[in-house]
Structure formats: structure tokens, C-alpha cells
Structure 1
Amino acid sequence: MENIMFKNNSGKVKCLLASLILFYTVQSASALDTIRLVPWGPKLIDFIDLYVGEENGYFKEAGIKIEQLRGAGAGDAVRNIVAGNGDIAMADPLSAFFAIQAGAELEGFYCPYTKNWMTLMVNKTKGIKSPADLRGKTIAINSMGSTTRYYLMVLLGRHGMTESDVTEVATGLDFASSLVSGRADAASAWESMNWGMLVAGGIPKNQVSDFEVWPYADIIPGPNDVYFAKPEWLNKNRVLVQRFIRALEKSKRFVQARPDEAAKIGQRYAIGADSLVRNRAVIDMRVKMQNSGPGVVENGMGWCDVDAISNLANDSFKNGILNKKMNVSKIISNRFIK
């Protein structure tokens, strides 16, 4: 009889413990503050700091849950913030400027990757030896609302041309097929995409020598990626943003110190990240980007260089890319940088 009572009580205790564990798990999850983060693309290895922050619990320790949403280019990421579908966008400055000149209120508050890694890959066999030779050519871009398009506009403007002087084709991430098939004569892309095309076999080995890479950094030094949010949201969530940045920087330091481990973490989170060799290559690029670029050495990780961004804005206005002058010192802040 006592054994039966003990078993019954034991079962009740186990049920009670299970209920308590579930309760506290739910309570713990609900206690996290959610940040809806919209990068310029899907879950690529390029956003390795976000995955390490989640895997190692840095965001959770800071009381944060990151909800990573997908942007179809930087311009689309910004549009999601303006529409209220996200809290923070990762985008290039021009994407924000286009939204601001249309009436949006945005503030760039942190630059996770400051060195510009955007490029134009040209097919030399199509007679392209200088920017002037782009006239009349077809150029692949990620989307019509992407950095790949906007930086191409800057390059064209610098050499007396506009988009009407070229044909743009939106290919998504599949730049290689357009180049190999001859559908495009050049591709406005970025370094990790170039690695996939020139090193990993996206472009056949016997054709690799046909292509040349022109870095946009020669005319746009950076920053490449800026975190933008509505000023109202930032003012309301100052402490949350500070916690986010501290956790993010902890993740960035881990990626830099232990890149091979980060590459394995990337396999579990990013799409198309099966190759540790490619993951490590992209991570090396990203580490370089977060430690170099205008103002970073002097002011630290995450610094947004107002002078460099102002030069981009002024140049874009002069060449007709922007139809309004931008007061960059009122758009870009470093108020969360210690």
C-alpha cells in the first residue's frame, strides 16, 4: 500500500516539476526583448556575427531575442523599417538616403562592417577596360532595391553616365550564370560572391582569366553596412540598443579570435554554408571589414565615419542620384559607441 502511495506521489511530483520547468521556460522566453533585424539578404554566412551571438547565448544573456527577417536588397531592408515591419535594417547609406528624401525619418547608429567590399566584376573579352566602356553594356545586379544597383549608379555618375546608359538585369544571387551565359557583361556584386565565382567554380576555370574585379572602395571607402532605425524607436529603446551592441561586439570578438569555430557555427544557421573553406574565407573578409574602414582604428569597432558618408551623399547629389542634399551629421550618429 505504501509503495503504491509512494509511486502515486512520485508521479505527481514529476508532473509538478515538469510543469514548473515549462512555466519558467515560457517565462524566461517571454522575458526576452525581441529585436526584428532586417539585413539586406537571406540567412547568408555574411551575417556570421548574428549566428554566433545566438549559438553562444550572447544575445540571450543580454535579454534579447533576434528575429532575423529577410530583405531583398538593402533598399528593401530599409523599406521594411519604414513600413514598421522591422526595427533595425542593415543597409548601405544610399538606401537610407533614398527613403529619407521620400519623407522617412531614419538614423544610422552603428556600422558593423565599415570597409567597403562591394565590387564590379567585368568581362574583359567584352571590350571593358575602363568605366567608360560600360556604356551600352548589360550589368547584373542583385535587385533594383540593392546596394549593387546604387553603387553602380555612383560609379556611372563619376564617369558622366547614368543608368540609362547601361542595361541592368536583376539576377538575385546568381551572378555567375548571367556572366557565363553571356546574358550580362559585368556583375555588380561583393567579395564573398566573387569568391564563389572565381575560386569555388561558379565560373569555369578556363574562363576565370576573362574577368577582372574593380573594387567600389576606390570611390566609396565605406562604411559598407550601417544599422538604421527610426529615431523614435531608438530613443524609446536606448538601453535595449546598448545591450544589443555589447552582445554583438562580444560575438564579433569571438568570430575574430576563433574563426574556425565560427565557420562551423555558420554551417548550422546559414543557407548554402556547407563548405567550411568558403565559410572561413567569408569570415576572414568580414573580420577585415569590421576592423578597417574610415575612422575605425581611431574610434573603435562600429564607428560610422560621418565625413566619408557625407562625401558619398554630396557626390550622389552632384551627379543627380539624390534629388535632395543630405545633412549627414543629423542622420548618422555614434551615440551608442563607447
Structure 2
Amino acid sequence: MQNFTSLLRGLAAAALLAGSLAHAADKVVVAGWSQPITEITNLLVEEDKGFFKARGIDLGYVPGAGGGDAIRNMLTGQATVAFTDPGSFFAALDKGEKLRAIYDIYPQNVFNVVALKSSGITRPSDLKGKKIGVYSLSSGTRQNLLVLLQQAGLTEADVTIVVTGLLNFAPLMQGQVDATAATDTGLLVGRSRGLADVNVMAVREYLNISSDMFVVTEATYQTKKDVLKRFLAAYRDSMAWMIANPDEAAALAVKRAIDGKNPAVNREIINLRNASSVSAVTQARGLGALDMAMFQKAADSYKKLGMIQREIKASDVVMQDLLPPKQ
């Protein structure tokens, strides 16, 4: 009888262990293009909101300095998913990396080039011979600057690029550069810190391609589809929350984002990111839906610019099958 009781206890313990293993959260680490800043508040509030935990995902975040960093951190095994820009994605594909884009984070282009009004720089052609700041050489600011230059028949060789760091308008205000490539949120923060009387050239007025997307390796795409589906569903949940609750997100950014000290500025940044997360395509098919025609146009434009050498077929590298259904 004692042996039978011990056996039952053993079987019960084994069942409990099997159950716990079956429900163990899957680790997904996001390689970001930035430090933990306000515009990605929906990724930073996991401890508060638990969007990913609810989907069986143990979320991690590795910061970077540009979309190229995000892809490198993913390729070196530090992360599962890269939060990166199309230019960095195309550049990696051009080098032969096997990658897939699986979710359109910001379908609207958020990049710009900013110059003081006193400089007289008002259009892309005025940038010839000028010093222009970028966040980093692997960032979307550089990639989108090149797109803007191309509109005036200029190339990188026609300007001097200076690395100024993230959200740093001090070199522009101090005259160390003639113009700075930035994002809409970067410009907002700059204005909140005293940047005034500027001319802004928005890249979307010339080529409105997505700003950021989630990218994975081919191997991860093939072997972790269930995990990735749950990750994307959780991300969509978090983004839908931030769109519906910008005030709560702005308040949480105060304790979660490194640049989140001012709730009013946080709210403005979050408003901009919420707006950049939606498009006609996402309204029809749900957050994260990828516009294949746009991606193909972007890839063709980058090749035409000479920024990549290979022809990229969007249908080969942009996947729609992991997206959560529209709610």
C-alpha cells in the first residue's frame, strides 16, 4: 500500500511538472534601434500591464543605436526579433542575410531633416556641401537622409555626415552642423528643449515608406511560428492599448522611459507614435498589416538610389501569415 501511495504521489508530481513545463513562457527578446524611450512605451510597460505574459511570452529588450544595430544584435543571437527600419533590412538582405519582415510597426514615414531658418536650407537641393547630423551611421536617419538627397540628384558624397547621437539637436543649435536628420518625436523633444525657428523637410512628402518593422531570421521564422504569432498578438494588444489610453501610457512612461520625465511631452510623443502606427492598410486588415506594394516600391527605390545592389522581391521576404486576425 505504501508503495502504491508513493507511486501515486510520483505520478502526481510528474503531472504537475509536465503541466508547468507545458505552460512555461517562451522567451522573446526584441533588439531595439534605441534605448528604452517614450515612443516605445507599449514595450516598456510589461511589468505594469502584462500583455506578453498573457500570451505566454517572457519579453526582453536589448537597446541599440539604429536599425543596423538591431539587426546585428539579432544575428549575433542576443535577440529573437529586430525592431528595425526598411533601409537596414534591405541592406542586410543585400549582404546575403536570410531575413523575413513579419509586422509593420510604423507604416507612416516619421523621418525628417531639420535646419535653422537662418541657414536658408528649405529643400533637399540646399543640402549640397553641408554638414548633416544623423543619430548613427546604422540608423534610419542616415538611410532616410539619402532618400531625401536623391530627390535633388545628390548622393552621400555631396554632403558631410556627422554622428550627433539620439535626439541630439545641440550640434545644430550650436552651429556644428548645418542640418540634422531626425524623427518626428526627436523634433518634438528638441522643440521642448528650446529648438525654434527651424525649417523641416519631411521625407514622407517625397517617399512615404514605413519607418519600422519587426524582422526575424529565416530560421526563426521557420521554427518558431507559434511563438512569433503569440508575440505579434501581444505586441498588437500593447499598441492597441497605447492608442486607446494615451494618458495612462504617458503616465507610465515617467517611470519606464529614460526620457519620460515630462508627462505632457510624453503624451505628445505617444500621440505621434499612435498616428504613425495606423494607415489605410491597417484600418482594413488590422495593426501590423504589411503593404506589399509599398515595400516593393521602397526596395526598388533603394536599388535605384544605389543603396543596395540586389533586386529584392517583397513577396520573398515579407510574410503575412503570422499576423493576428483583425479584431
TM-score of the superposed pair, with normalisation by structure 1: 0.86
Alpha-carbon shift at residue 136 of structure 1 (Å): 0.4
Which residues of 2 match residues 1-338 of structure 1 at below 5 A? 31-198=24-191, 200-203=192-195, 208-209=196-197, 211-292=198-279, 295-337=281-323, 338=325
Partner deviation per Cα, 1:22-71 (whole Å, 9 max, x = no partner): xx9xx79x922111101110101111111234421121121111110011
**Aligned partner of residue 213 in structure 2, secondary structure:** strand
For 1:297, give the aligned amino acid. Answer: Q
Higher Cα radius of gyration:
1
Report the Cα offset of residue 87 of structure 1. Answer: 0.9
Flag structure 2 segments of 5+ consecutive residues without an equivalent.
1-16
Alignment coverage as a number of residue pairs = 306
Task: Report runs of 4+ in structure 1 exceeding 6 Å deviation.
Answer: none
Question: Would you say the 8 A contact 1:120–1:188 is kept in 2?
Answer: yes
Q: Which residue of 1 aligns with 2:10?
A: none
* 8 A contact 2:167–2:189 mirrored in 1: no
SS, match of residue 58 in structure 1: coil
SS at match of 1:291: coil
> Any conservation in 2 of the 1:176–1:202 contact (CA below 8 Å)?
no
**3-state DSSP class of the match of 2:264?**
helix
How far, CA to CA, are the matches of 1:250 and 1:226 in structure 2?
A: 16
Rounded Cα–Cα distance in structure 1 between residues aligned with 2:272 and 2:120:
30
Identity percentage over the alignment?
30
RMSD, aligned α-carbons: 1.8
TM-score, length-normalised on structure 2?
A: 0.89
* 1:166-217: CA deviation from partner (whole Å, max 9, x where unpaired): 011101125311111100111100011111112x1242xxxx12x1111111
Give the AA of the match of 1:182. Answer: G
Deviation, 1:297, is 2.3
- Cα distance in 2, alignment partners of residues 326 and 246 from structure 1: 28
Q: Distance in 2 between matches of 1:80 and 1:62?
A: 24
Segment drifting more, 69-78 vs 317-326: 317-326
Q: Is the 8 A contact 1:223 1:305 kept in 2?
A: no
Question: CA 1:186–1:223 in 2, change beyond 3 Å: closer, same or farther?
Answer: same
Distance (whole Å) between structure 1 residues aligned to residue 194 and residue 99 of structure 2? 38
